[in-house]
Amino acid sequence: MLLIPAIDLKDGRCVQLQQGVMASASVYSDDPPAMARHWCELGARRLHVVDLDGAFAGEPVNRRLVEGIVEAARDVPVQVGGGIRSIETAQGYIDAGASQVIAGTRATEDPDFLRALAAEFPGRAILGLDAKDGRAATRGWTTTSGVDVQAFAEGIRELDLFAIVYTDVARDGMLSGINAAATRRLAEVAAAPVIASGGVRNLDDLRTLKALDLDGKRLLGAISGSALYEGTLDFTRGQRLLDDG
């Protein structure tokens, strides 16, 4: 399993939000590419980048900054999300060097788009399932749909997705601990491996996730932002735990 640092972009800076509320942003760096280099130097094997401005605008806003992060990461895979609502936008990020593209809002509102994305980029599309009380949250988490995330995951099992990023919105940025039960339920029904996100706070959360992955295939890893930036989770120790137990 991988511990995946999050680099969330707002107004050209690296930030973390609480429960997706833009006004709650804590700024951690004015130089996101330098932050990418920092995590790679510590041994990160994958980076999670989200254009928060793009998620709200419905189209990329920080694309040049994303390109700088991809360049800074060099051989470390970068998965990018936020405002990817067309094949053309996804293609632009792939052309810029992103390893995978993450679709959330349009993917859950229009499953045919997700099918087209997976067909166009087999093994390089990631479904972002962001949940509020088990229902999909979209459009920068400002809207909660009637889509049950578990049922949705069951309905797209045939797609060649790289992974599903599952985020419990209520826990995101709150350092309140992961929603282990919901993560496990999703991992049990999904065909693609799950990346857990939202609420990771310390080594105990990583131990919990590692224990959930009984066959070593259901969970690809965990995304962490606030815990890494606030220092409640040490990256090196966290990755070592996931590697060795």
Q: What pLDDT score does 147 carry?
A: 78
Joined together, the tokens standing for residue 142 give 């400002």
Distance between CA atoms of 46 and 236, rounded to whole angstroms? 14
Query: pLDDT by residue (tens digit) across 189-214?
Result: 999 999 998 889 999 999 999 988 75
Query: pLDDT by residue (tens digit) across 30-76?
Result: 999 999 999 999 999 999 999 999 988 989 999 999 999 999 999 99
- Decide if 8 is catalytic: yes
Joined together, the tokens standing for residue 21 give 């509320």
**CB neighbours of 192 closer than 8 A, spacing ≥ 6?**
127, 159, 161, 162, 163, 164
Distance between CA atoms of 125 and 100, rounded to whole angstroms? 6
Q: What pLDDT score does 96 carry?
A: 94
Query: pLDDT by residue (tens digit) across 6-28?
Result: 999 999 999 988 766 777 789 99
- Decide if 112 is catalytic: no
Distance between CA atoms of 91 and 186, rounded to whole angstroms? 28
Q: CA angle, 90 as apex, 88 and 95 as ends, to 5°?
A: 90
**CB neighbours of 48 closer than 8 A, spacing ≥ 6?**
4, 5, 6, 7, 79, 81, 165, 195, 197, 223
Mean pLDDT of 77-106: 96
The residue among 60 and 143 whose pLDDT is bigger is 60
Query: pLDDT by residue (tens digit) across 217-228?
Result: 689 999 999 999
Q: Give the active site residue among 53, 130, 205, 213.
A: 130
Stated pTM of the model = 0.93
